[in-house]
Structure 1
Amino acid sequence: MTTMVAPPTAPDTRTSRVRYAALIAKVLLFALLLTALIWPDLSGIKGKASGARLVVYPLGAMVLPLWWWAYGRTRSKLHHAFPWPADLLLTLPWLIDLLGNRLNLFDTVTWWDDAMHFVLWGFLTAGALLAFAPRNLSLAVTAFVALGFGTTAAVIWELGEYVAFVRHSPELQSAYTDTLGDLALGTLGALLAGLLLHRLAFRPKAN
């Protein structure tokens, strides 16, 4: 008797695509980090706390896999499989930031920095919520959690930038205005990510 093998379902195919996208994003990120280490003059991050970025960026991209390996995989009631969509969302901000610096977009495109603070904080917040937040949160609680995470992350980032290179650069004169704008855009991006995620993934399904 011939055994019929059912074709992969749509969710399985979608999961595979997201998994491959997350792995490719990590490979590209580490390739860019390696080239920045070997050829710092071509990295686009020279003079922009390149040493700190070479440490923080891989940690940011690997925090979810490391957490999953150490602790998350035992929580079978919460996660039945590794959360690849969350992993992709948590990797993209570091990759896109490095690409933007490598292509010199932050210094040549006037709106690029503002757009990145809005979009990348949205990705980061969505990834964190998708990985760690319960699925039964109300809209209000989801918004508060998104704001709490996104705003805190934005403040830590701005403090890190100031300590690492802004205080010793010509940007210091305009740093206050720029920082306020970055914090506002990052917060708005985080809030929008929380609201969208609640609508797409957190709402209880009707019986």
Structure 2
Amino acid sequence: MTDVAVVRHPVPTLLRRLDIAAKLLLVLMLATALAFPAFGNLEDKGAVARAIAYPALAFAVPVVWHVWWRERASFPWLADFLITITCFTDILGNRMDLYDAIVWFDDWMHFMNTGLLAAAAILLTLPRSATLGATVERALAFGATAAIVWELAEYFAFISKSAERHSAYTDTLGDLTLGTLGCLVAAVVIHLAWRHGKLRTSAPQLEAAIAPVGQPTP
């Protein structure tokens, strides 16, 4: 028996830099928002909850990869960036007051960010050979769950304590619908990119990542 050979896929330098920059700026903006809530436009918007959840989410892939996948798979930069950018854009959108200044911005964020998270889940858990049906199924299973968890978190973090709670039901239904549509779009885009050879990365060399060291992969 020999150790599994890990294929290290080349990654664009720009993607690495964007991912690292997004993480650093995210932490900086969250620290600033905690110190000066008004500056980050996060007053009564669950600033503390965001400060805990967003870094945990943004650094989850690096931690998991370092502990379990480092010797078996190359780092999934694209998936990690997609996760980080969802946290970053939410904080940036609040900082720039886009949620209040642009009427459709909240809807766009639910559509886009749920789709990005679903795309990351697909890249992390499915091989490029996955069928369109399997890809859509994975996107909906993860994305719809993520959308529901987000709505519950929003409600308990700040909506239940604000005047928004009286109109929250209608808004929640819209957000869940947009998040689901975002997941479907993400699934189709990734599947087409895989089929046309435009996207080389998938699950972090899925078979190599889950096979025991010393056991050859198919």
TM tier, smaller: 0.7 to 0.9
Q: Mind listing any 5+ residue stretches in structure 1 that lack a counterpart?
A: 1-10
- Equivalent residues in 2 for 1:147-158, closer than 5 Å: 147-158=140-151
Indicate yes or no: 2:33 matched with 1:36. Answer: yes
Cα offsets for 1:52-93 (capped at 9, x unmatched): 00000101111111110111224x2xx3x1111111111001
Which amino acid counterpart does residue 112 of structure 1 have in structure 2? Answer: F
Q: Which residue of 1 aligns with 2:100?
A: 107
Q: Which residue of 1 aligns with 2:157?
A: 164
Measure the CA separation in 2 of the matches of 1:167 and 1:53: 16
Which amino acid counterpart does residue 120 of structure 2 have in structure 1? Answer: G
Measure the CA separation in 1 of the matches of 2:140 and 2:128: 17
Q: Which residue of 1 aligns with 2:64?
A: 67
Which amino acid counterpart does residue 92 of structure 1 have in structure 2? Answer: I
Q: Indicate if the aligned counterparts of 1:114 and 1:182 stay in contact, CA closer than 8 A.
A: yes
Q: Indicate if the aligned counterparts of 1:139 and 1:195 stay in contact, CA closer than 8 A.
A: yes
Measure the CA separation in 1 of the matches of 2:153 and 2:181: 20
Measure the CA separation in 1 of the matches of 2:82 and 2:119: 7
Identity %: 44
Measure the CA separation in 2 of the matches of 1:193 and 1:131: 14
Instruction: Please give the root-mean-square deviation of Cα atoms over the aligned residues, in Å.
Output: 1.5
Q: CA deviation at 1:132?
A: 2.5
Q: Of residues 15, 18, 21 in structure 2, which corresponds to 1:21?
A: 18
Cα offsets for 1:161-191 (capped at 9, x unmatched): 1111111111011100000000000011011
Q: CA deviation at 1:46?
A: 1.4
Q: Mind listing any 5+ residue stretches in structure 2 that lack a counterpart?
A: 1-8, 198-218
Q: Which residue of 1 aligns with 2:49?
A: 52
Q: CA deviation at 1:137?
A: 1.0
Deviates most, 153-162 or 14-23 = 14-23
The 3-state SS of whatever aligns with 2:59 is helix
Higher relative contact order (CA 8 A, sep 6+): 2
Measure the CA separation in 2 of the matches of 1:177 and 1:71: 42
Q: Give the TM-score, by structure 2 length.
A: 0.83
Cα offsets for 1:143-178 (capped at 9, x unmatched): 011011000000000011111111111101110000
Which amino acid counterpart does residue 67 of structure 1 have in structure 2? Answer: V
Cα offsets for 1:82-140 (capped at 9, x unmatched): 11111111100100000000111111210000011011111111112112322221100
Q: Give the TM-score, by structure 1 length.
A: 0.87
Q: Indicate if the aligned counterparts of 1:147 and 1:190 stay in contact, CA closer than 8 A.
A: yes
Aligned length: 189
Q: In 2 relative to 1, CA 204–103 (structure 1 residues): closer, same or farther, beyond 3 Å?
A: closer
Deviates most, 29-38 or 55-64 = 29-38
Which amino acid counterpart does residue 148 of structure 1 have in structure 2? Answer: A
Q: Of residues 82, 87, 93 in structure 2, which corresponds to 1:94?
A: 87
Measure the CA separation in 2 of the matches of 1:163 and 1:21: 32
User: Which consecutive segments of 4 or more residues in structure 1 shift more than 6 A?
Assistant: none
Measure the CA separation in 1 of the matches of 2:68 and 2:125: 12
Q: Indicate if the aligned counterparts of 1:90 and 1:128 stay in contact, CA closer than 8 A.
A: no
